[in-house]
Structure 1
Amino acid sequence: MSPPEFALSGLRPHVILGVDVVALPVLPADDEGPLATVLLGPGAAELGDALELDLVGILEASRATGAAGEVVTVPVPQGAPDNSGLRLVLLVGVGQQRPVDFRRAGAALARAAHDRDAVATTVAALDPEAGLEAFVVGLMLGSFAFHWRSTPPESLPVPRVVLADLDDSAEQRATLRRALAAGGAGWRSRTLASVPSNLKNPEWLADQAREIAGSAGLDIRVWDERELEADGFGGIVGVGKASATPPRLIRLDYAPRKSNRRTPTVVLVGKGITFDTGGLSIKPGEAMVNMKRDMTGGAVVLATLAALADVGCPVRVVGLVAAAENAVSGNAMRPGDVVRHYGGRTSEVTNTDAEGRLVLADALAYAVEQVKPDAIVDVATLTGAMKVALGQTVGGYFANDEALAATLAEAGDQAGEPLWRFPLYAGYEDKLSSTVADADNAPGGAGAITAALFLQHFVGDVPWAHLDIASVGDAPEDRHEWTKGPTGFGARALLAWLGREEPLAGVR
């Protein structure tokens, strides 16, 4: 399925042709008390007059509050005056009109408008900047569906949305373009994570990267299994060697149009485990069911790279996806094996189900040595400990630079992908010790922290953040802009960061 298409219009929604749904914003009452009434936004008076409907009275009868995401449905009977094909009016609460409220309003509208032909709405006209972007993202992601059944889907997202009462100006078009880029990145990363692993393998992921590179004008390089071994990527090779589908390392390069030698460079590294059995340290059966999405970090990196031009990213960005399938065979990596990473550092593998950090380590070491970036951010569904700590609506992260940490947290809040910082507590360093290698890949206790400490050794003194999104890799239910299943969490936060005028301001 595809997300809705959006258009801007300066007209009131009731005169826009070809729409069968009009959605109007509902604001909470200005004051409190028994006589306080909710307020209707732009276009309500004209639509009420045209249809001879008392929309405020309908809201009062429905006891509407104007809370974000609340929807009151008003069917329009055939033969109503001047309905011009209009069949439904949706009165959508926008709460306090913060970005989070507009996202929730957009997602609620998406679900209420399923199976309709087109919607015209003035919700975004309440705030043509922050509100427009958040509303469009919420409507796009609330529409998301992944369907491969042999029968038609039970419902379809509305294919066309007209954002009414907004000028079709260059400024509004730029805001809409940023919104479509952010929402599209979320949609793409969810789709990639939803594809089942009988079709999705490291080479398939590389093919997706090639398509993105071609459409977005990015440079690309893909290492196959022979090149990975020859170049010393021992972590990726070790994790992927048991699979019938060999591992890959994918590199995508973005440069802004006015870049030069002084343009800073950011590296994004994504964990691309296309299926994780746990290897010989095999997972319980129920824990494998959602492991098709263990490449969410890689999906986020690919989706982010695809959208950088549309958000006006001013820095160079290199995306690295370490792709492998962690399988079981006679050639599988064993507990007790030692792998040598890119650059020479070694890891004793005491648990083959701690494979994500092994492939990330290679990509991080390569980035530091070959790209020499100004900052690195890695994204991975890495540790179950993160879900225990945070539940399923907040992602965790670590950082060795205060400015980078603060900027990412702010970007996550702005984008609707909240992040909670954890400490790189040096007191746990001794847990990484191994008698035969530089580090143990799976020391007991403090799982998310020791995983981050393990990775920190591969970034040197480069400003770095590690996003452990295992807590938010799957949504348990439809809620606001989240739909049940893989979330693609992280792409919107990274784009909110990289789309800033100076994303590296203050970073050492």
Structure 2
Amino acid sequence: MLAIRLVTDPAERDPLVLPVRPAGDAQEHPELVAVARPPAAELADEATALLSMARLTGEAGETHLTLRPGRAPSRLVLLGVGDGGDGDWRRAGAALARATAHETCITLLMPVDVTSEALGALAEGLWLASYRFRMPPTAQRPADGDDEADGPAEVVLVVADPQQHEGALERARITAETTRLARDLTNMPSSVKCPQWFVERIRPEAERAGLTVTVREPGQLAAEGFGGILAVGGGSARGPRLLELSWAPENATTHVVLVGKGITFDTGGISIKPREAMVLMRKDMAGAAAVVAATLGAAAMKLPVRITTLAPLAENMVSGTAFRPGDVVRHYGGITSETTNSDAEGRLVLADALAYAVSELGPDLVVDLATLTGANAVALGKHTGALYSDDDTLAAGFLAAVDAAGERAWRLPLPADYVPYLRSDIADLYSAPLQGAGSVTAALFLREFLGDLRDRWLHVDMSAPSWAYGDQHELVSGATGWGVRSLLRWLPDLA
């Protein structure tokens, strides 16, 4: 990642960046923001004149580069920061990273009254927008060969008191670093990525962070009754796993279980997907990537919350050993489900993990993130996750964290009159009811495995926002790492 430093007296370096805010009610043009270390009067006058000449608005993320040959600085960047909210600063940071991608070092004069939260949001935008996925190096393609720059090599932020903002900058770094990890995991092609690869990729990093790591392989999954994970992974030559991470600080008073869907590739199984729908199915483990990365982030921040994270990992393939529509699956704890669609496989592995969490781990609350249904995108579009919970307070707190993180979610209902849709003639439940409302009925199915914790449970269907189809603000084309930032905003509230 690019380096970000806090200083009080910057060296003369190009380019110099000045923040700009929109015009107020009594103003015709936007204006320069009062900064901690004002530029020379001549430079400030020139920048002020440019605001009207260049028709700038001060909108967050707006950038304008001016060349000043023979003068210092020789390049001046005007950066719109909007009204100065955290979201505006995050957007400004992202735009600045792209506008200065090939620079060695840039210097940004920060507002005299900048808050630590705003500075952290700026840093997140810089780090997240400068992300680029890279495959592991090969003999033909050495690491960082001729790749384009991701962003400037270094950003110097000029503030009145660097020490005041160091904590916020460190939290932003951890948040961005773990979000980038979730993006890396999700972007990795499934020719490389499988359940075992995921475990081997995470285990050393988790152990270094002080987490306890437990891995259940197929034999142990069978012995303990994880029928959903085994059914979904049964068609693949690369067997399933259940990855369990534990962060248990001594001062924790709340225990939360995070569960993430980890389908490392999804063909749809016997109910095979159309070609177009299968191309991006390496992203079907984005929920597992998010909860695992967020747990690493929580450990790095030393959050005083006990976290147990479960990532049920499987590859849903077509073969002679694949499970069939009409099969009855016996889940952990004994509940059975009749498979109506082998492409509704995510809820089967999640059901095992949820039942295990409630039965064996004794949490205070349970949260699951899953790229569960295409119905999520039909209902809410490409940028918004669907949140489900029976607890108004729990849902409101999580939604507030999502909003503060710069992500999006919308609460959808869990209607009681849809519950009969789940009832099967030959099993306890249908895995995927035929009456429609796909995202809602998937959530209702999962709720059946929560037992006494059904009112202390949050489910987020985040299939749509897990992937970006182009660069936008702090998102780059590909995996978004959706959920990591929201969880790292929300988990501290539990303490």
**1: CA distance between counterparts of 2:382 and 2:470?**
10
Asked if 1:162 corresponds to 2:149, the answer is no
Match of residue 281 from structure 2: 291
What is the deviation of 1:407? 0.6
What is the deviation of 1:44? 7.7
8 Å Cα contact 2:19-2:33 kept in structure 1:
yes
1:26-71: CA deviation from partner (whole Å, max 9, x where unpaired): 01123345x444224416842564x697111122210111001011
Identity of counterpart residues, as a percentage? 45
Decide which of 183, 186, 196 is 2:179's aligned counterpart: 186
**Structure 1 residues 341, 37: closer, same or farther in 2, change over 3 A?**
closer
Look up the SS of the partner of 1:499 in the other structure: helix
Asked if 1:475 corresponds to 2:473, the answer is no
**Structure 1 residues 97, 74: closer, same or farther in 2, change over 3 A?**
same
Matching residue's letter, 2:25: D
Point out the more displaced range, 334-343 or 124-133: 124-133
> What are structure 2's unaligned runs of at least 5 residues?
none
**1: CA distance between counterparts of 2:160 and 2:96?**
18
Match of residue 256 from structure 2: 266
TM superposition score normalised by structure 2: 0.94
Matching residue's letter, 2:278: M
Match of residue 28 from structure 1: 22
Asked if 1:249 corresponds to 2:242, the answer is yes
TM superposition score normalised by structure 1: 0.92
Match of residue 351 from structure 2: 361
Number of aligned pairs?
A: 485
**2: CA distance between counterparts of 1:127 and 1:402?**
34
Look up the SS of the partner of 2:197 in the other structure: helix
> What are structure 1's unaligned runs of at least 5 residues?
504-508
**Structure 1 residues 166, 475: closer, same or farther in 2, change over 3 A?**
farther
What is the deviation of 1:365? 0.6
What is the deviation of 1:257? 4.8
8 Å Cα contact 2:33-2:111 kept in structure 1:
no
What is the deviation of 1:456? 0.1
Look up the SS of the partner of 2:369 in the other structure: strand
Match of residue 115 from structure 1: 102
**Structure 1 residues 45, 264: closer, same or farther in 2, change over 3 A?**
closer
What is the deviation of 1:209? 2.0
**2: CA distance between counterparts of 1:142 and 1:300?**
18
Match of residue 461 from structure 1: 452
Decide which of 327, 332, 339 is 1:342's aligned counterpart: 332
Decide which of 443, 448, 454 is 1:452's aligned counterpart: 443
Match of residue 322 from structure 2: 332
**1: CA distance between counterparts of 2:40 and 2:235?**
64
Matching residue's letter, 2:210: G
8 Å Cα contact 2:37-2:159 kept in structure 1:
no
Look up the SS of the partner of 1:63 in the other structure: coil
Alignment of 1:5-404 (within 5 A): 5-11=3-9, 15-16=10-11, 19-32=13-26, 35-42=28-35, 45-47=38-40, 49=42, 54-77=46-69, 79-81=70-72, 83=73, 87-123=74-110, 126-148=113-135, 150=141, 152-169=146-163, 171-259=164-252, 263-404=253-394
Point out the more displaced range, 318-327 or 54-63: 54-63
**Structure 1 residues 245, 20: closer, same or farther in 2, change over 3 A?**
farther
8 Å Cα contact 2:36-2:160 kept in structure 1:
no
Matching residue's letter, 1:66: G
1:103-157: CA deviation from partner (whole Å, max 9, x where unpaired): 1101000100101112221347652322011111111111111134946223432
8 Å Cα contact 2:258-2:309 kept in structure 1:
yes
Look up the SS of the partner of 2:192 in the other structure: coil
8 Å Cα contact 1:29-1:39 kept in structure 2:
no
Decide which of 469, 485, 493 is 1:492's aligned counterpart: 485
Look up the SS of the partner of 1:455 in the other structure: helix
Question: CA RMSD for the aligned pairs?
Answer: 1.8
8 Å Cα contact 1:136-1:180 kept in structure 2:
yes
**1: CA distance between counterparts of 2:395 and 2:52?**
46
**2: CA distance between counterparts of 1:76 and 1:272?**
52
8 Å Cα contact 1:280-1:328 kept in structure 2:
yes
Match of residue 506 from structure 1: none
Matching residue's letter, 2:98: R
**1: CA distance between counterparts of 2:299 and 2:338?**
41
**1: CA distance between counterparts of 2:3 and 2:100?**
14
8 Å Cα contact 2:388-2:411 kept in structure 1:
yes
Matching residue's letter, 1:326: N
**2: CA distance between counterparts of 1:124 and 1:395?**
34
**2: CA distance between counterparts of 1:163 and 1:323?**
42
**1: CA distance between counterparts of 2:99 and 2:166?**
26
